Each structure stands twice: as C-alpha cells, then as structure tokens.
Chain A
Amino acid sequence: MGLDIRLPIGGLFIALGLLLALYGIFGDSNIYHRSLGINVNLGWGVVLLAFGLIMATMARWGKGKASEDAARPAPSPLSGKRH
C-alpha cells in the first residue's frame, strides 16, 4: 500500500520511549515503590526507544530495497503445477 508500516511503528515507539525515559530521569524518583524500587520508566523507555529506532532504520533500509524489488517482475500468485 505504499506506506511502510515500520515507519509509524518506529515513530510511535521513539516518541513513547523518549517520553518514558525522560520522565524516568527528570520525574519524581519516589514513585517506584510499586515497581519493586526499579525505575521502570527509564529502563523500559530506553528499550522502547531502541525498538523504535530499529524499526525506523529498517524502514529506511527497506525503502531502498523495495524500489529494487519493484523493478523485478513478481511471480504470479496463481502459478502452480498439477500433481
């Protein structure tokens, strides 16, 4: 459909990861008794950010590859052989 789904996934997770990580760094640090004393906002925020960056990178990398693929004729979905 033209739009590479990895782009919005990447964008969303970069945004969410940044929000959580920044909140984990600058926000109140006395709220983590619920999460067993672990700063989950920072930790998980970084994980989500990394995932978002990977997705966005793959979308960019895939863009170049997709245009190569388009030049090649796709195999017909209905081609088959009789047994």
Chain B
Amino acid sequence: MCGIVGIYLKNDDLNPELGQLLAAMLVEMSDRGPDSAGIALYRDPVPESSCKLTLHAAGHYQWGLLQTEMAAHLKADVSLNVLASHAVVVAAAPVDSVQNWLSSQHPELRIMSAGSAIEIYKEKGLPVEFVRDFKLHELNGSHALGHTRMATESAVTTEHSHPFSTGMDLCLVHNGSLSNHNWLRRMLRDEGVDIQTDNDSEVAAGYLMWRLREGDSLEEALNRALEDLDGFYTFAIGTKDGFAVLRDPIACKPAIMAETDDWVAMASEFRAIAQLPGAEHANIWEPSPATVYMWGH
C-alpha cells in the first residue's frame, strides 16, 4: 500500500500556497505510507540555455565547494539552494554537460531530477517529518505530485523512495506492485536505460523513459505500458505542464480525482483531497481503468 497525491493549480494566485496544500494532502496519506515520503514540484522554470537539477547527498555535504567547482569547470553561472539532504542546482549550461560532469567527478551524488522546472525531494521517514525537514509550507509552484510509501517489493531507503525521474521534467509515482519487473529491468538495461535499484516502480519509470526516448508521446508510452506492465498500479506522472494518471485494467488500487475552478487534484483517497479549499463542492470522480488522463496548460 502507498499513498499518491497530486495537485495542479488552475488559479495562479494559489501558487504561493502550493507547498502548504501539498503538505496537508501528504500528511493525510501517512497511514498508507509511513516508510518514506517524496514530492516532485514544478516551479520557476529556467531559460532554455540553462538547466535545473536536484541532487541528493548521503550525510553532511560541502555544497558550497561543489558550486564553486562546478562554476569553474563549466565556465558558467551556477546557483545552488540547499534543502535538507538535497540541493537544487541551476546552471547556465547544457544539461548533458552538467550531468556528465557530475557523474564522472561526483559519483557520490545522486541526480534526483533534471529539467527546467522540476524539483524532486524524497526521504525515509514519516510524511510529517518530511514536511518539516523540507519546509514544504514555504514552497511555491504551479503543480506537484507527492508519494507516501509502504514498502512491499524492496528496501526502505531514499533511493527506493518515490518520485522517480523518467526524463527531462518528468517523474512517476506508483501505488501497487509489478510482477514482471525483473524481466523488464533486464530488457531495459539491455536497451541502455540506467536502472539503479531493485525497486519495481523504478522499472516503470525506466520503461517510460525508454519509450519517450524511442519517440513515443507520453500518451502513447502510457498506452503501451498497459500492454507491457504486468501487475497492479495507479500511476501519477508529473510533466512540465501538468500531470497524467493511469490505472491498470483491474483497478484494485484506488484513485480519486476532483476539480474546482481553482485546482485539479488526484489522490489515493478522498480524505487527502478533503484538505483542499472548496473540496466539499468539487466535481469528484473515479478515474476509469486502463484510461489515460492528462492535465496541462
């Protein structure tokens, strides 16, 4: 069992409150996932010539030194903002060069997300601790996904937590369990997709990354996933402009969606949506099995 929450703001006036709204939804899903919590947040897109990465370090880290070293090597402006065990780096350089430099010079760092607007934060522990440590109430943004994990398939670590990056400005959160992930992982590694853990949800993220790389649109990739992924799932996929939702054809794993003039939200349970302003008068429905839902600007 896990908890998924997602919110997309139609009313920009609410952008400063995004983190606060997300925090309330996330904490409400603690019963469904007390092992770890994570979010993907979309805000402050950087110019096309720049890129934004979220990095994670285990233990205390000299982020200031990294910033200086990166700026000198890339010969570019680099800004860095530390948030608990994570740091968001904005560099006026192509994303490939930053990623290559980081993986060759700083393999101790994990790249949680890359793109222009996405930021991913995730950590072991109760959602309420995550909300406190990552100061969620202070975070703004246009839309966000969140996940509370109750591990069933693999270990409880930060690396095994959700969301998983699936490419530039894309991420995935999952409630369920995949039964053919070992076979898929081997296939994806043969295709050159970097899968770092034995977690089944990371395989789903890797699958989407592979299909998008092969030229599928997100909608095509999700429809193909219905054929290739065996198991139970409710997925929420964050995109630069919004988010998508997909449930497997059996649809045992719950999902509920709601919309008002101000927002669109999805969650594993209504009680998470009940935290949002105006929820009692929202248009509420349950997404159909094997159907791709997408929201965006």
A and B associate: no
Report B's interface with A, CB cutoff 8 A: none
Report A's interface with B, CB cutoff 8 A: none
